[in-house]
Structure 1
């Protein structure tokens, strides 16, 4: 027989062995508090469609573990410092390369080109992982390569995310050497382009790093919303045209957000 509603029975169905349901409801409560900042028992119960006694019991358990705290004796509830203790153990255990790998492979399979994951190291963009497209032309192994920030799509994404002082320091130390006739070597021109990168959420380079190579990159964020890397798709200029490939830039941006989500980033 299905469990009766607790109203009027004096019994709480969750307490009668519904452990999985209790866990699910406790997580719902945490999601509501994370979303709204704070909420009362009645508000939570109404949204979840359960009796207030169920919410009160679950909140009591969460409060006892400092996962949730009450503003005052009869006030609303909000997330507690126990959440920070749990969350602080996550970032150090997350591997950007490990978390991104399936998404890189999916991008390479979908768009048939080379996909790279890069991070900022010692004034360069360093490629830390790569997924190869099925094309026989996509044979360059970029893993471990140090590439100039000002001449690559990943580098421009990383540069655009830096504070102005840090970006200025890097560009002064590394300079703006020309890799090809199309490399941007003027500081003002580069800064204006980086503003566009920040606004658009992606960077595109046409043969600035290597003649015949086009690439597009988007940022990857961590749980603080800080850019910690970039994911790019590159291919031969004669066939790879990101701006005119329907859905490619949007698909790459979604992939970047998916990797970011695995690193704890919450979309805003």
Structure 2
């Protein structure tokens, strides 16, 4: 395993299809009475054929429902926001995070925000890239890349409430302490934004980067961490993470 990310055009696209499916879910959530495939394709800048393919998958897995040619969010969206992950889904999620960890040579995490709490749903380390300390993770949204991503996606009221319960205490000398310095992301199309990073803010000797996941009213993040000695790799890995998730990962995110 090398220390760089291979730019192999034959490799599976591990992020792009998930992004497209999530964009369709976001768009559908804005039409309580339903929207046509053409409307959703137009709203998400997707080719109509691509939209139809993903819509069929989302309907099959009950994340969308189709009534009289209109698509509306389905019962599985509520299940995702409740973070009700069955054992089989968790196993698939861990396997795919492991594939990402192996490809990127970095520790990979899937974090979800539910009931006002930041939950590390699953995490997989890589050789030379151990997992960060999980004991303080829930209280460290301001100090981790995934936590800062979740805070960036929250409303101002949600952010104030979270920081009131979990103040911005210093975990290291580099921890961000001022709420006004926290990044912000729009709920619409957040994956087009630059990945959010942290350098030794949560744990000395460790750097991380994160991209957002939005499904219905639920918010989450896929993130990576590396030893500071490999921090020069983070920009490239974060860019690849932002542009590459894929069909298998989408199936796990939407099918758990």
Q: Of residues 127, 141, 145 in structure 2, which corresponds to 1:134?
A: 127
C-alpha distance 218-162 of structure 1, shift in aligned 2 (>3 A): same
Task: Indicate yes or no: 2:187 matched with 1:194.
Answer: no
1:255 CA drift (Å): 5.0
Please state whether the residue corresponding to 1:115 is helix, strand or coil. Answer: strand
* Aligned-partner Cα distance in 2 for 1:176–1:99: 34
Q: What is the TM-score normalised by the length of structure 1? A: 0.57
- Superposed CA offset, 1:148-192 (max 9, x none): 1111101011111111111112112321111111111112222xx
Aligned residues: 188
Please state whether the residue corresponding to 2:142 is helix, strand or coil. Answer: helix
Instruction: Provide the residue aligned with 2:167 in structure 1.
Output: 175
1:145 CA drift (Å): 4.6
Q: Of residues 50, 64, 79 in structure 2, which corresponds to 1:92?
A: 79
1:262 CA drift (Å): 4.6
1:36 CA drift (Å): 1.8
1:70-85 to structure 2, matched below 5 A, reads 78-79=69-70
Higher RCO (C-alpha 8 Å, min separation 6)? 2
Q: What is the TM-score normalised by the length of structure 2? A: 0.59
* Aligned-partner Cα distance in 1 for 2:219–2:131: 26
1:143-162 to structure 2, matched below 5 A, reads 145-162=137-154
Matched-pair contact (CA < 8 Å) for 2:175–2:201: yes
Please state whether the residue corresponding to 2:211 is helix, strand or coil. Answer: strand
Matched-pair contact (CA < 8 Å) for 2:114–2:218: no
Q: Of residues 203, 212, 220 in structure 2, which corresponds to 1:210?
A: 203
1:90 CA drift (Å): 6.8
1:252 CA drift (Å): 1.2
Name stretches of at least 5 consecutive residues in structure 2 with no aligned partner.
1-34, 41-48, 50-64
- Bigger mean CA deviation after superposition, 200-209 or 100-109: 100-109
For the pair shown, the structure with the greater C-alpha radius of gyration is 1
* Aligned-partner Cα distance in 1 for 2:92–2:201: 30
Instruction: Provide the residue aligned with 2:226 in structure 1.
Output: 235
C-alpha distance 99-167 of structure 1, shift in aligned 2 (>3 A): farther
1:142 CA drift (Å): 3.5
C-alpha distance 255-220 of structure 1, shift in aligned 2 (>3 A): farther
Q: Of residues 209, 214, 217 in structure 2, which corresponds to 1:221?
A: 214
1:134 CA drift (Å): 2.3
Instruction: Provide the residue aligned with 2:28 in structure 1.
Output: none
Over aligned residue pairs, what C-alpha RMSD do you find?
3.7
* Aligned-partner Cα distance in 2 for 1:219–1:133: 21
Please state whether the residue corresponding to 1:238 is helix, strand or coil. Answer: helix
* Aligned-partner Cα distance in 2 for 1:125–1:145: 8
